[in-house]
Structures are given as structure tokens and as C-alpha cells.
Amino acid sequence: MFKRITIIGLGLIGGSLGLSIKRHRFAREVVGVSRRRKTLTRALKIGAVDRVTLNSTEGIKDADLIILATPILKIIDIFKRIKENLKEGCIVIDVGSTKNFVSRKIEKEIPECVSYVGCHPMAGSEKKGIDFARSDLFKGNYCILTRTRDTQREALLKIRKFWEGLGMKVVIISPEKHDRIISSLSHLPHAVSVALINSLNNLELKLSSGGLRDTTRIAASDPELWRDIFLTNRKNILREIGNFEKSLKILKNLLKKSDKAGLFKFFHRAKVIRETISV
Ligand code: NAP
């Protein structure tokens, strides 16, 4: 599919992409760029890449596809650093969890002879780093691609084929719609999870049960990654937190009034909705 693919950022997502690309033989050569030498050594050892470098300009030389897989604000910094040295006709994609901020910044500065497609593979976990990379991470999950007025059709189709080839189901929407939808499906759950953990004291945490563990698994995620997500999708997340506050207030009032029927109805409604979500 590509002669040379360069992945910048070899963590959970970048490392898993390397393993998956190599397994599907989607490139003759996969080059890996990361910040720490330790990550590069590990990426080579597990076979996620063929060649490594700490230098992003050197890493993108002659690459037909460049995948930006670092925390979101770093994606922009790195793109600014490499944009002058991109090969004519290459495609740049990013896998950042918010899309409007990143695609606006990149599209504003991208050279004319290069295409860009924003991507968000809906796969991953609270784990961080190359040690958790898996070649089957993407299989069977959705990947959202974003399209704007500047998106080139051919590049979009090629990237669609790329993700489908890795076993993903592709959906194409605007970056604005992506950020709106994901703020309720992913960013609000994270806000609730971290706020819940931060509201408890040490003794309560020590005696914690399965319920707390189930509701707060994602609070153990990487703080830099989530700081960038919240800062680049602020408005949508603030709106979702407002909706959540309203829901919590309804529950609080039912409890204040000891409203037996109301509480049952509130819990029952949640149970019915939750049961429509698979697993
Ligand atoms: P991660 O496991 O923490 O990996 C991030 C990688 O970026 C690390 O390997 C790190 O390198 C590298 N990096 C950081 N700064 C760098 C720099 N200046 N130059 C080169 N490399 C740099 O994070 P992740 O979960 O893979 O997330 C990566 C991106 O995917 C994020 O934008 C995130 O929003 C998005 N995403 C995450 C998930 C998820 O569930 N985790 C799902 C979908 C999308 P070193 O290891 O060398 O320090």
C-alpha cells in the first residue's frame, strides 16, 4: 500500500499501528520516531518498526505516509517541525482524540503538494506506552475519519482503505461533529471518573469495591494525554459537564425528598439505557 511509512510517537497507539502495519505488510519499510531511545529499542525488539531515529526530520525522509501519534499538542509542534521536509505527494495523518483543533492547525500550514486526513481510531485503553502495544488493537473497532473543504478525495479513499485493511469500520464526518459526539461518549466519562476519584479520601479508596473500580478505570490514564484532550475540546466538554450536573441535581433532589418512586424510576431508566450498550 505504501513504500515507506513513518510513525512519530511509538506509544500504545503508534506502537500498535507499527505491529499491525507490519503484520498486514502494508509498507516495505516502517520507520519509527520517538522521544526516548528506550522506546525506540523496544519498538525494534517487538518488531513494530524496521528502522528508528530520534530525529523527526530524518525519520520522515522519503515517507509516503506519516502518522502523528503523540499527545495532541505535541502533534502540532511536530508537524510544524517537519512540514518543510515532507515528500511531494505524501499523506499525513494524525490519530489525536480531538479533531477540530488539530485539523484546523495542520490544514492552515500544510504545503500544497501534501495531503492531510484527520483520524481517530476508537481503540485503546488507560495503559500508556509501547509495552502495551498489540497488533490486534484496532480490529473490529470504529475509526472516525474527518473531512473538511480541504480534504483531498483520493487521500481520503486511500486512508479509508488503510484503516479498513487493519480491520476497522470507518465512519467519515466533519471534525466539529466528531468533537461534539466524542465529548459525550468519551470525554464526559473521563471527567466524571477523575472527579469521582478526586472526591474520595484515602480510607474510602483503600476499602474500594468492584463498583468503584468499574466506574473509574479510565482515571488511571495518562494526565498529559487527557490535559491536551480537554484543552482542545473545551466548549463541548463544558456543555457535557453542564448536562451531567443537571442529571446529578435531579438525583440529589429525589434523594433529598426521599422520593421512593422517583428514585426507582431514575435507576430503572439508567438500567434500560445501559443494557442497550454491548459489553
Ligand atoms: P502514549 O502511549 O503515551 O504514547 C505517546 C508517545 O508519544 C510516546 O511513545 C512518546 O514517546 C511519544 N512522544 C511524546 N512526545 C514526543 C515528541 N516530542 N517527539 C516524539 N515522540 C513523542 O499515548 P497513546 O495512547 O499512544 O496516544 C497517542 C495519541 O493517540 C494521542 O494523541 C491520543 O489522543 C490518541 N489516542 C489515544 C487513544 C487511547 O486510548 N490511548 C485512543 C485513540 C487515540 P516516548 O515513549 O519516547 O517518550
Express the helix, strand and coil content of the chain in percent, nearest 5 each: 55, 15, 30
Atom of ligand 1 nearest to the CA of 125: 40
**The dihedral formed by the CA atoms of 200, 203, 205 and 211, expressed in degrees to the nearest 10:** -90
Which of 10, 13, 16, 44 has the most ligand 1 atoms within 8 A of CB, as the residue to mutate? 13
Beta bridge partners of 98: none
So what's the pLDDT on residue 106?
A: 96
Enclosing H/E stretch for 192:
helix 188-198
∠ CA 144-160-173, rounded to 5°: 35
pLDDT in tens, 105-155: 999 999 999 999 999 999 988 899 999 999 999 999 999 999 999 999 999
Q: What is the pLDDT of residue 134?
A: 96
CA gap 194, 101 in Å, rounded = 23
> What's the pLDDT at 278?
73
Residues lining ligand 1, judged by CB closer than 6 Å?
Answer: 8-14, 33-36, 39, 69-72, 74, 78, 95-97, 120-121, 124-125, 128-129, 222, 225, 229
Distance 253 CA to ligand 1 centre (A): 42
pLDDT at 279: 66
Distance 68 CA to ligand 1 centre (A): 9
Q: Could you say which residues of the chain have pLDDT below 70? A: 279
Rounded CA-CA distance 18/30 in Å is 7
Q: Which single residue is written with the C-alpha cell 478505570?
A: 217
